[in-house]
Amino acid sequence: MNKSTLKRMWPLYLTIFMLWLKTYIVYKTSFDIKIESWKQEFILFMNPLSFLLFLLGITLLVKEKYRTRLLFVFSFITSFILFGNVVFYRFFNDFLTIPVLFQTSNMGDLGNSITELITFPDLLIFIDLFILWAALKVAKSKSIETMAGLIQRKEKKAYLLVAIIISVVNLGLAETERPQLLTRTFDREILVKNIGTYNYHIYDAILQSKSSAQRAWANGSEFVEIENYLKANLRQPNDELFGIAKDKNIIVISMESTQSFVIGETIDGQEITPFLNDLIEDSFYFENFYHQTGQGKTSDAEFLLDNSLYPLGRGAVFFTHGTNEYTATPEIVKEHGYTSAVLHANNKSFWNRDIMYDSLGYDRFFEIGDYNVTEENSIGWGLKDKEFFDQSVEHLKTLQEPYYTKLITLTNHFPFELGEEDKMVNEYTSNSRTLNRYFPTVRYTDEAIKHFVQRLKDEGMYEDSIIVIYGDHYGISENHNKAMAQFLGKEEITPVDSVELQRVPLIVHIPGQEGKTISTVSGQIDLKPTLLHLMGIDSRNDVHFGTDIFSKGKIPFTVLRDGSFITDQYIYTDNQCFDKTSGEVVEGSICEPYLDKAKRELDYSDKIVYGDLLRFYDGNNYRGEQGVQ
């Protein structure tokens, strides 16, 4: 490439350089990408360039007068993609996917959550656009050549060759660093670390096209292998508790963003969850119960609860597959005389609930239109939990008994806003405003549940009800690890700590039944078979990956949506096997058998959802007379 051409193409090279440098700076300052060697650092530094050379090289193919305009367009698009990932990552500790971008109907309800996540420095992501504009202005005033003029074919070929070489080197290094890289679709951090944010989004688009085609090409034969696996993993339910809730009302409370680390803890000598602490004494409490949600958060928790299928690794099932065929709990209990309902004081379209609840078989959805919502009784995301529970009692009275109901709270939702009049514990003092404000909202929800249980007693509804309370997903992400370590009295949050912080409360309260703390490793995937067995419903002919938590034959194993898993002795995360007690790294072969099980379950569940395989399911024949093991 001759000197005059290089001189005229300086806007292209300046734009590439600025976007490249900016992306790397964002990697290091806004994303928690773990680097373990100089090679990984080099790959991370190099990977934006492989994409930018191809994208911005397109400007060489258009007419001279459009080249600089196109540079601005491409620069803005890549900057906006980077900006979107920064804001999304700040709370979800994850990267955007195409299914998440399709969830635009949620955006209107996010309100303060988005404004809390955006900071002024984020806008500096777009500063290179102004630098390019200023440089072109100066060049014009001094008659410096820009992108105008003819660029020879051999020069374009040379540019293309350089782009191809850098891309091949990038992918080759990435593949040697992480074999079978492109099969690890559930681990977005590994993908971004090795192929870059922009290439990752292209790959994500390919995955989206592939998943959209899966349903069209699916057939019932794909279910055979999954069926055999589910048969082999059936476990006998607990005989003593099977049917103990028969013909009782089932009231499930989904506690927004509540993690187990608050249970039994105090702030300035005041209990954070005094009512739940007392309730646990008279209930079955599962201290090693984990949330297994992905990008769908609360909706994923609902999906796990009602289906005992894993949520998707990308997007929310409620959005992407809301019209699939399911064998959900509401549909099953209806055959046993139960009415089913969801109570949630939010817009019915949020998370596509109005569509999804029909697919799951719910009889009734009490949404925001069924509640008296005013400025006085609302905060943050909407109706305060105390008001919500108070009004929900009146709705429960209208349901035909027995009923299976799900109540979804709102107040303990990021950004954890609460009026001074409702604060019953002090805010924490740390460098994390999010963690500081978390404890008063948790305390408020605890008080609201106490008020609700008392209302049930006052109305004569308590004795005939089984109350199940569980946390839906984490409230404090890994972005607040420094403050979390301070609260927990640790020097730092280790990978093992990060997994253990995914524990959420599960309380099963059966009036008249003695309380007991159970240490069995379990997760939200286990809720469906557990509740069905308590109701005396045989789930052998049902499709589910979970196990009755009370079962004496339950395998102590829970897999998280990111591929991490927990057993009674080990934790696998960040591609390493850890001793659960010491936190030390152990030989990887110890976790190998469980790793295969974790991958298989996630893959099988994905196949069911993507292929809508339950439309081929015949409940009368499924598993036949095989019995349980």
The share of the chain scoring above pLDDT 90, in percent, equals: 56
Tokens 């734009």 -> residue:
15
pLDDT, position 481 = 93
Q: Which one of the listed residues 298, 409, 558, 573 is annotated catalytic?
A: 298
Residues 326 and 472 in one domain: yes
Residues 205 and 316 in one domain: no
Local structure of residue 618 (DSSP, 8 states): -
Q: What is the pLDDT of residues 234-257, one digit of tens each?
A: 888 888 899 999 999 999 999 999
What's the N-to-C CA distance of the chain in angstroms?
72
Residues 413 and 514 in one domain: yes
Which domain range does residue 13 map to? 3-214
Which one is predicted more confidently, 146 or 460? 460
- Spatial separation of the C-alpha atoms in residues 31 and 96, rounded to whole Å: 12
Reported as a pLDDT band with limits 50, 70 and 90, residue 187 is: low
- Spatial separation of the C-alpha atoms in residues 477 and 486, rounded to whole Å: 15
Reported as a pLDDT band with limits 50, 70 and 90, residue 450 is: very high
Average pLDDT over residues 165-182: 81
The share of the chain scoring above pLDDT 70, in percent, equals: 90
pLDDT, position 456 = 97
Residue ending a domain, among 501, 534, 550, is: 550
Residues 458 and 360 in one domain: yes
Which residues, in sequence order, are bridge partners of residue 378?
383
580 within some domain: no
Residues 129 and 60 in one domain: yes
576 within some domain: no
Q: How many domains does the chain have?
A: 2
Residues 108 and 251 in one domain: no
Under 8 Å CB-to-CB from 478, ≥6 apart: which residues? Answer: 32, 93, 493, 498
With 0-12 / 13-18 / 19 or more C-beta atoms within 10 angstroms meaning exposed / middle / buried, residue 176 is exposed
With 0-12 / 13-18 / 19 or more C-beta atoms within 10 angstroms meaning exposed / middle / buried, residue 115 is exposed
Residue ending a domain, among 550, 580, 608, is: 550
Helix axes 10-30, 197-217, angle to 10 degrees: 80
Q: What is the pLDDT of residues 383-404, one digit of tens each?
A: 999 999 999 999 999 999 999 9
Average pLDDT score, the chain: 87
pLDDT, position 616 = 86
Q: What is the pLDDT of residues 502-515, one digit of tens each?
A: 999 999 999 988 88
- Spatial separation of the C-alpha atoms in residues 574 and 239, rounded to whole Å: 39
Is the pLDDT at 149 greater than 80? The verdict is no
pLDDT, position 221 = 82
Reported as a pLDDT band with limits 50, 70 and 90, residue 269 is: very high
Is the pLDDT at 624 greater than 50? The verdict is no
540 within some domain: yes
H or E, element range at 565: strand 565-567
- Spatial separation of the C-alpha atoms in residues 156 and 57, rounded to whole Å: 9
pLDDT, position 209 = 75
pLDDT, position 627 = 32
220 within some domain: no
Range of weakest confidence among 201-210, 218-227, 235-244:
201-210
- Spatial separation of the C-alpha atoms in residues 484 and 215, rounded to whole Å: 43
* CATH number of the domain to which 531 belongs: 3.40.720.10
pLDDT, position 118 = 76
Residues 346 and 451 in one domain: yes
170 within some domain: yes
Which one is predicted more confidently, 365 or 12? 365
Residue ending a domain, among 527, 550, 573, is: 550
H or E, element range at 522: strand 522-523
Is the pLDDT at 185 greater than 70? The verdict is no
Under 8 Å CB-to-CB from 311, ≥6 apart: which residues? Answer: 292, 293, 294, 295, 296, 300, 303, 304, 317, 561
308 within some domain: yes
pLDDT, position 626 = 33
Under 8 Å CB-to-CB from 196, ≥6 apart: which residues? Answer: 23, 47, 48, 50, 51, 170
Residues 148 and 85 in one domain: yes
Is-catalytic flag, 320? no
Average pLDDT over residues 94-113: 60
pLDDT, position 234 = 86
Reported as a pLDDT band with limits 50, 70 and 90, residue 628 is: very low
Provide the residue type at 353 as one letter: R
pLDDT, position 64 = 77
Is the pLDDT at 622 greater than 70? The verdict is no
568 within some domain: no
Closest CA to 215 of 616, 617, 610: 610
Average pLDDT over residues 2-9: 61
- Spatial separation of the C-alpha atoms in residues 594 and 597, rounded to whole Å: 5
570 phi/psi in degrees, rounded to 5: -130, 155
Range of weakest confidence among 105-109, 195-199, 221-225, 608-612:
105-109
Q: Give SS3 for 294.
A: coil
Q: What is the pLDDT of residues 581-600, one digit of tens each?
A: 999 999 989 999 899 999 99
pLDDT, position 296 = 87
473 within some domain: yes
Residues 444 and 517 in one domain: yes
Residues 250 and 107 in one domain: no
Residues 201 and 244 in one domain: no
Put residue 238 in one of left, alpha, beta given phi > 0 → left and psi -120 to 50 → alpha: beta
Range of weakest confidence among 264-268, 450-454, 621-625:
621-625
Q: What is the pLDDT of residues 520-571, one digit of tens each?
A: 999 999 999 999 999 999 888 889 999 999 998 899 999 999 999 999 999 9
Is the pLDDT at 623 greater than 50? The verdict is no
Residue 523: Cβ within 10 Å count: 28
Residue 463: Cβ within 10 Å count: 11
Residues 166 and 303 in one domain: no
Which of 9-23, 170-184, 216-230 ranks highest by mean pLDDT? 9-23
